[in-house]
Amino acid sequence: MKQITSADLPQADRLESVLLAVIAVANGAKTDIEIANNIPGIIGDDRQGRYYRNAAELLGFISNNKNHASLTHKGQELIKNPVLTNSFFIASVLNLDIYQKLLPYLELNPQGRTRKELVAYISSIATSVASETINRRMSSVLAWPEKLGFLIENNKSFQVKNNLRIDIPTFNIQDIDQPILPMTGDLKEFQAIVIKNQKAKEEIVILKDQVKVERANIVHSTLVNLVANRISQYGGIPKSNQLIDLAVSVQKDYIFEIKSLTGENIRNQVRKGIGQLYEYRYLQNKPSATLVLVVENPLDSNHSWMLDYLETDRGIHLVWDGNSQLYGSEKTRQELEFLNLLP
């Protein structure tokens, strides 16, 4: 698992002004002072201009060479709609290493954590970063997700909030070695996943390629979004990574695999889904996680036996789509109440 470095910790408090820094560069600003002169509140302050330029660099929107800033390809895309509500901008913030590790930690602690406790947690997963440095930058670290509605402060404790939208259906975990489901934060837990992934690295390469092909399927994406939105409506935080379509912790841990079906590939797709679910649960070191297979259509009469096989023999819940409505057996409806399944 990649550990946090000082470069991962922003020093610019106002996220809206980070966006103004990108706009300034798009309008011709090059140097730190020129960027500062386009941001209300820091005009004439080249040091603050550097902080906001660094923040825009951290997000991948500008590059800098000897105090000469320019837009990256990502920056050119953002500037087409340079607003805080742009899903591309929000996803870029959520994809930062600091939030990839901070928000799941807070999810594990729904009652919230104080600033002091958050500093201690980040210190435990940081490389060569003094606690004083982390403490000094915490205002910026906390301000960004708070501005985007993913963090709230309540009685001096910070709590994660699900503010995902239809155009950002899941919180995507970028690091394949990072737990996708909440952990205690003990580095031994992280290390267990790293070791398993290293041993299975050749298989993971194959799985990644397979997943890329599947996710290019519009039916697959539609199903993922449908299930993710049901989870969000219930109050859970749906997550994904390069392998796992969806995972969530709502009282218990759940891992989902999504499969599109045609009349010719039902058996093959179900078999693939079974194998993937078991492998993902193993690689995530979550042996007690409940497994769920979501398919595009109800099983036809020739394959209806698979429902009992999955749920009784394999311990995998089956959910199927029907005109944008999700269905399941009585057993699955009781277990997956948060999906509001139909009979």
Backbone angles phi, psi at 28, to 5 degrees: 115, -5
Q: Which fold has domain 1-161?
A: FokI Restriction Endonuclease; Chain A, domain 1 (3.90.241)
Confidence band, pLDDT 50/70/90 cuts, at residue 111: very high
157 neighbors 111 (Cβ within 8 angstroms):
yes
Strands 62-64 and 69-71, bridge-based pairing: antiparallel
3-state SS class at 50: helix
pLDDT digits (tens, 9 = 90+) for 176-226: 999 999 876 566 777 889 899 999 999 999 889 989 888 888 989 999 999
pLDDT above 70 as % of the chain: 99
pLDDT digits (tens, 9 = 90+) for 287-338: 999 999 999 999 999 999 999 999 999 999 999 998 889 999 999 999 999 9
Helices (H), the chain: 15-26, 32-36, 46-58, 73-78, 87-94, 97-108, 115-124, 131-147, 187-199, 201-215, 218-234, 266-283, 305-308, 330-335
Query: HEC string of 199-260?
Result: HCHHHHHHHHHHHHHHHCCHHHHHHHHHHHHHHHHHCCCCEECCCCCEEEEECEEEEEEEEC
245 neighbors 236 (Cβ within 8 angstroms):
no
pLDDT digits (tens, 9 = 90+) for 142-166: 999 999 999 999 999 999 999 999 9
DSSP string spanning 286-318?
-TTPEEEEEESS---GGGTHHHHIIIIIS-EEE
Least confident of 14-28, 60-74, 133-147, 216-230: 216-230
Task: Please give the model's pTM, rounded to 2 decimal places.
Answer: 0.90
Give the separation between CA 50 and CA 29, rounded to whole angstroms: 12
Q: Which fold has domain 187-339?
A: Trna Endonuclease; Chain: A, domain 1 (3.40.1350)
332 neighbors 319 (Cβ within 8 angstroms):
yes
Any idea where the domains of the chain sit in the sequence? 1-161, 187-339
Give the separation between CA 157 and CA 18, rounded to whole angstroms: 26
Give the separation between CA 142 and CA 158, rounded to whole angstroms: 9
